Amino acid sequence: MLIEHCNPFGVDVYYNKQKGELTVKNAVPPLWKDRKRILGLPISFTRYSISQERIFVVTGIFNLHYEEILLYRVRDLGLIRNFGQRIFGVGSVVVHSSDKSKPELEIKNVRHPMQVKELLHQQVEEMKLRRRVRVNELLDSQDGNLNEDDENLMDDFDDADGSDD
């Protein structure tokens, strides 16, 4: 019988009784974690976490729903602080990504939203460099195809980096 303990906010531990093995995964602690706050208090059942490679969202009490977004897929970040959020010292970070299951994620009502957004920005840029993700903002976002102006820009970019394509 396999007993699993899944915890994206710390260390994942899996114990297999038949084999007597203990497996530890994700031993790196998260860079940031918080809960969705109601009236400035962390009394919600939505938890957020940022690791070096992913954003995790866990919602629910009895039935838990796990969602994650790979940081190199993030395209844009935004910040929302309405009047009520400013009163309670919270804000929401909006993450636009190329993720198929959740292209727009709102990290709602967390403390220090500007610092969270900046942390996300730094980690996203680091992951894109590490994964060597090419900047594809020149692609037309509607159909994913290059238009004539984009092709000219890509040619200029290729000429500037000295490639002989």
Q: What is the CATH number of the domain that holds 37?
A: 2.30.29.30
Distance of CA 39 to the CA centre of its chain: 25
How many other CB atoms are found less than 10 A from the CB of residue 105?
19
Residues 19 and 77 reside in one and the same domain:
no
Residues 47 and 5 reside in one and the same domain:
no
Task: Provide the domain limits for residue 146.
Answer: 134-165
Q: What does the pLDDT read at residue 13?
A: 58
Q: What does the pLDDT read at residue 90?
A: 96
User: Which is nearest to 74 in space by CA: 41, 107, 29, 42?
Assistant: 107
Q: 81 vs 20, 73, 107, 153, 156, CA distance in Å?
A: 50, 24, 12, 36, 40
pLDDT band (50, 70, 90) for residue 153 = very low
Residues 57 and 109 reside in one and the same domain:
yes
Residues 59 and 81 reside in one and the same domain:
yes
**Structural domain total, the chain:** 3
User: Which is nearest to 71 in space by CA: 56, 59, 85?
Assistant: 56
Residues 62 and 78 reside in one and the same domain:
yes
Q: Which residues pair with 37 in a beta bridge?
A: none
Residues 70 and 107 reside in one and the same domain:
yes
pLDDT digits (tens, 9 = 90+) for 70-127: 999 999 999 999 999 999 999 999 999 998 888 999 999 999 999 999 999 999 999 9
Residues 59 and 85 reside in one and the same domain:
yes
Residues 24 and 56 reside in one and the same domain:
no
Q: What is the pTM of this model?
A: 0.67
Residues 148 and 109 reside in one and the same domain:
no
Residues 24 and 43 reside in one and the same domain:
no
CA distance 96 to 77: 6
> Quick check: 140 pLDDT over 50?
no
